[in-house]
Every structure is written in structure tokens, then in C-alpha cells.
Structure 1
Amino acid sequence: MKKIVAIVAFVFLTSLAGVIVKTGLKSTNFSESRKTYVSGCTANGASESRCQCSFDKIIEKYGYEEYIRLTKELGSVGMEGVKTNLKLSQLVSFMTVDIPKICSN
């Protein structure tokens, strides 16, 4: 089950990165970004409370500006970039390993 949650989280993260890159989501638009995240997350089968928790924990750990920057970068470089970029690798690990444990309601 944890592996499935990790895969869903990763797929969602990469799709969110694509949405941010395509829409040019501004880093100052916190509420719209949160809404987009939660909407995409619930569309992948997670509960709304789990999705809200995961967004909050990401922002708590990285800060909003850094989260947007990393997500845009992930959208630009894709999975190959994760292999060579420590910060992207840490973000993906946090989302696929830590978040499912932290937000397990």
C-alpha cells in the first residue's frame, strides 16, 4: 500500500510540475496553487484531508517560494533531472516517502 501511495504521489508531483510550467502559475498566488495541488491530489485518489496535509507539510519544509521554484524546475528537467539534482531528489523523496507517513489519516 505504501508503495502505491508513493507512486501516486510521484505521478501527481510530476503532473503538477507540468501544470505549473504550462500555466505560468505565479509564486504569489498561494491560494490558487494550494487549490490546484489539492484538486490534482484528490483526482489521484487521495482524500482531501491527506492532500491538504501534504501541501501544508511541503510548504512547512521548503517554504512556498522554494516549492514553486523546485516544482517548475522539475517540470522543466523531468525524471532525468531528479537523478542529477540533489534538491529535486530530496523533494521527490519527501513527497513519496515521508509525506505518506506524516499524512496517513
Structure 2
Amino acid sequence: MDSVIDPVQAQVDAYNARDIDAFVASYAPEVVITDASGRAIMQGSESIREEYGALFDASPDLTAEILGRLASGEWIVDHERVSRGGEVREVLVAYHVVDGLITRVAMLA
């Protein structure tokens, strides 16, 4: 795999395994996650640990399937199908990767 794609794929694999330690390990300590408007919804890897740890604990059937992936420079954009509790939705997520860690995530749709 490409070094920019590696942490993105690693966090998808950890998400599907609901492995919070491996999931957080893909992110820079100062990571910022924003919604489509650019508003920060999580800041810092400890915030990710708290939010996603609770999600993983509450969702034994949680999965994300990558339907498509684009890469350009330090950016990866995934088209994902997320399943949880019988609900399925498709999302677009952009990941900015620097020095092997995800530094910014934009939840686009």
C-alpha cells in the first residue's frame, strides 16, 4: 500500500474490528474532525478515543465497507457504506495524512 493510504486503511480495518487502540493509533494527537460545513465536531485523539470507543462498545454489528477510494497527494477520499443496527448509509469522508498519521478528517456527506 501507499504510505498515505496505509493509515486510512488501518483505521478502516480497526473500525470494523472495533479495536479502539488500533483505530486511535492511525490519528495524529492533534487531529481535527469536521462536518461538511467545516465545523469541528471532534478535536484530538483522546476525543476520538472517547467518542468512537463508546460507539464500538454499543455497536457489535458496526461495519464500514469501502465502495470507492480516491487519492491525491496527502488526501484520501473514501466512499463508504456504514452499517449499524440494521441501518445502512453511504458517506463521503476525506482524510488528510501527514507523516503516516491522519491529521484532519472531513465528513462530507
Both proteins in one fold, TM over 0.5: no
Relative to the length of structure 1, the TM-score reads 0.37
Relative to the length of structure 2, the TM-score reads 0.36
Structure richer in strand, relative to its length: 2
Q: Which has the higher contact order (CA 8 A, sep 6+)?
A: 1
